[in-house]
Structure 1
Amino acid sequence: MRDHIRAMRRDPLLLCLWLALLLFAALWLAPCIFIVFTSLKTFGEITNSGVFEFPKELTFANYTSAWSRGGFEQAFFNSVFISFVKVPLGIAISALAAYALAQMTGRFTRPLFLFFLFGTMIPFQVMLAPIFTLVNSFGLIDTYVGLILPYLAFGIPFQVFILHGFFKTMPKEIAEAAEIDGAGHFTRFRRIYLPIMTPILSALFILDFVATWNEFAMALVIMQNKAMWTLPLGLMSFQGQFMADYGGLNAAIVITVIPAVMVYLIFQRYFVSGLAAGAVKG
């Protein structure tokens, strides 16, 4: 810590960067502190105390009230089921596809990779109407499959792009030595590449889980039955019904955010190293 302080004194630019970092951190933390503090206060304390004043008496009644009145039990189950099916399945498909692309040779390899890369450039918002028409034509409206399939379609291209860069940076001598020993592609993938892919797979798991957990627009279009709503849709409904219940509303926000934060905390030690591993261009 002392070395950092001395370095900042010698380098004004480094000091400015640290100050800017602290400023942005404060701007990001301020709404989070407000939401958590408000969710732990009674209605009377909310109206009579300061925005960032710590609760005089912690109360979790807002959480139990929001959970029961908002009907979050079914929405929570829907989000958990969709996320924990879509995210591992998407990562598995992306890893196999990226490995295959990295091993392929020939004139069609580059166009095929560009085809996947093109999928990362299409904002799904402009595709909502065609997606609804397609899902409806298959009779998958208000079904888990009807929502998971579009999620996979828009999530896999980015993951293939990241994992392809990881595979291209791996020394070819490793694969060649395994091939001499008689190992096929699946054996090489499972025993050589998969163990060293843990950091990047963990990073992709975090990014994909948060994106899937918080996704709103596509779920709103496809899940029209309230019993099939995910947590973001349940939060929208709760906000419309209980807008004046500030404690309950902020408690509902915390309930929605906690699972994504827990996933990040579990895998965060792999996050930076994983992104760095996949960001290298092969």
Structure 2
Amino acid sequence: MTSNPAPFADETIIKPPRDWVLVGLWISLVVVAAIWIAPFVFIVFTSLKSTAQVTTTSAFAPPADPQFVNYAKAWARGRFDITFVNSAIITAIKVPLGLFLSAMAAYALAKIPMRFGKLILLLILFGTMIPFQVMLAPIFTLVNGLGLIDTYPGVILPYLAFGIPYQVFILHGFFRNIPQELSEAARIDGASHFVTFRRVFLPVSLPVMAALFILDFVATWNEFAMALVLLQDREMWTLPLGLSAFQGQFSRDYGQLNAAIVMTVLPATIVYLIFQRYFVSGLTSGAVKG
């Protein structure tokens, strides 16, 4: 009786073929990430160097003797305490208010039958197609006629006018995909449209609302052109205006200039890190056609 050969003795281990497409994607990802991260590394390192260190060392060399005093000096010399407060007030009012108004408008257009609903939506979406740069002169004339130059409402109202149409477009697509049975059940239980919107639609729309919050916060915090036209009093300047003036006065003080840049972008970065887990899912939810 012959013995059978050991099982799998003649079998060779076959390795799966290498996916060169995936390898190429990873290489591309690393290259793109390096390109995006390099300027931030340069800015942070430069903000911690003295002027002598900036001119004698490599741009990407870590600071041998970190000059954290650059941040305190830049904050005081640039009067960023005033511009920071102005930006915080404008952003804290505009972003939540714009999201709330956009959500209510999107709900009404998506779930409340209206005779001219599609026409109203088309008119709102038309606002996303107009570059605000061509509207700066008419906006200045209107705001000046209302006596709102160098005021918070004079900036917040135009910001709302240009921010709401895009948000309505995204939220309308999201609300259209929510099953009609949810709103009908709430209506059968006696809930008004506002109660249905607040208790049913707002909770399920948190991901897309968080994504829009990030985009709107960054856009409002960094907005420059409209603020430059509407805010002429230095006491009403926002952070981008203060940073531009600081750059003009202290362009040769590289350490303090880059410290000012870091302080300007830090709040937007913190907001993104807080809401980043909602960002991708939120944008995807609002982009699906109903």
Measured on the aligned residues, the alpha-carbon RMSD in Å equals: 1.3
Which residue of structure 2 aligns with residue 201 of structure 1? 209
Percent of paired sites with the same residue: 64
Deviations 1:193-251 (A, max 9, x none): 11111111111110000000000000000000111000000000000000100001000
Farther-moved stretch of structure 1 (133-142 vs 182-191) = 182-191
Q: Quick check: 1:20 aligned with 2:20?
A: no
Which residue of structure 1 aligns with residue 223 of structure 2? 215
User: Shift of residue 176 of structure 1?
Assistant: 1.3
Which residue of structure 2 aligns with residue 86 of structure 1? 94
Q: Which runs of 5+ in 1 are unaligned?
A: 1-5
Moved over 6 A (4+): none
Instruction: Give the partner amino acid of 1:181.
Output: D
Instruction: Give the partner amino acid of 2:140.
Output: F
User: Shift of residue 11 of structure 1?
Assistant: 2.0
Q: Which has the higher helix share?
A: 1
Match of 1:166 among 174, 177, 181: 174
Match of 1:98 among 97, 106, 112: 106
Alignment of 1:55-70 (within 5 A): 55-70=63-78
Instruction: Give the partner amino acid of 1:259.
Output: P
User: Shift of residue 105 of structure 1?
Assistant: 2.5
* Structure 1: distance between partners of 2:270 and 2:32: 23
> SS where residue 191 of structure 2 aligns?
coil
* Structure 1: distance between partners of 2:53 and 2:101: 51
Instruction: Give the partner amino acid of 2:20.
Output: P
The alignment covers a number of residue pairs equal to 276
Alignment of 1:168-247 (within 5 A): 168-247=176-255
Which residue of structure 2 aligns with residue 119 of structure 1? 127
User: Shift of residue 107 of structure 1?
Assistant: 4.3
Match of 1:49 among 57, 64, 87: 57
* Structure 1: distance between partners of 2:162 and 2:114: 27
Instruction: Give the partner amino acid of 1:88.
Output: P
Q: Quick check: 1:34 aligned with 2:34?
A: no
Instruction: Give the partner amino acid of 2:21.
Output: L
Instruction: Give the partner amino acid of 1:223.
Output: L
Which residue of structure 2 aligns with residue 108 of structure 1? 116
> SS where residue 129 of structure 2 aligns?
coil
> SS where residue 63 of structure 2 aligns?
coil
* Structure 2: distance between partners of 1:127 and 1:20: 39
Which residue of structure 2 aligns with residue 142 of structure 1? 150
Farther-moved stretch of structure 1 (16-25 vs 128-137) = 16-25
TM-score, normalising length: structure 1: 0.95
Which residue of structure 2 aligns with residue 71 of structure 1? 79
